[in-house]
Amino acid sequence: MDIHAAIPCGMIINELVTNAFKHAFREMIKGKIEIFVMQNNNEYYIKISDNGVGLPEKYLKGDTNSLGMVIVNTLAKQLKADIKIESEQGTKFSFAFKKQVHERSTVKAFS
């Protein structure tokens, strides 16, 4: 994965794992967070899931302007990723996106 995809992916994972620690396990002694990343040809798949309390309905409908969800959605758009959110027996965020080709910028020295 190139840097143009790795940075937004890392930020998405960080945001969702942080939110899981803060909100998902309020009434639980032990919780579980799983992160799955896979590449298949030119497509990447990322899944972040937990076995916590799940999301309120407004998050599933996209009816929230929480900073965390704005960040996740903005980064997903940057990757041109399809995003799927499920909240049954915990929460699962799935992302699928194609490898993008970025032209390298070159710096020319002046003489």
CA angle 100, 97, 53 (to 5 degrees): 145
Q: Which residue in the block uniquely carries the two structure tokens 């960080």? A: 14
pLDDT of residue 98: 94
Asked whether residue 82 is assigned to any structural domain, the reply reads yes
Question: Which tokens hold the place of 17?
Answer: 């794992």
Asked whether residue 60 is assigned to any structural domain, the reply reads yes
Domain that holds residue 38: 3-98
What is the rounded CA–CA span in Å between residue 80 and residue 99? 10
**Domain CATH number, residue 79:** 3.30.565.10
Asked whether residue 27 is assigned to any structural domain, the reply reads yes
pLDDT of residue 90: 92
**Whole-number mean pLDDT of the chain?**
87
Structural domains of the chain, count: 1
pLDDT of residue 103: 57
Asked whether residue 107 is assigned to any structural domain, the reply reads no
Q: Which of 34, 18, 8 is nearest to 68 (CA)?
A: 18
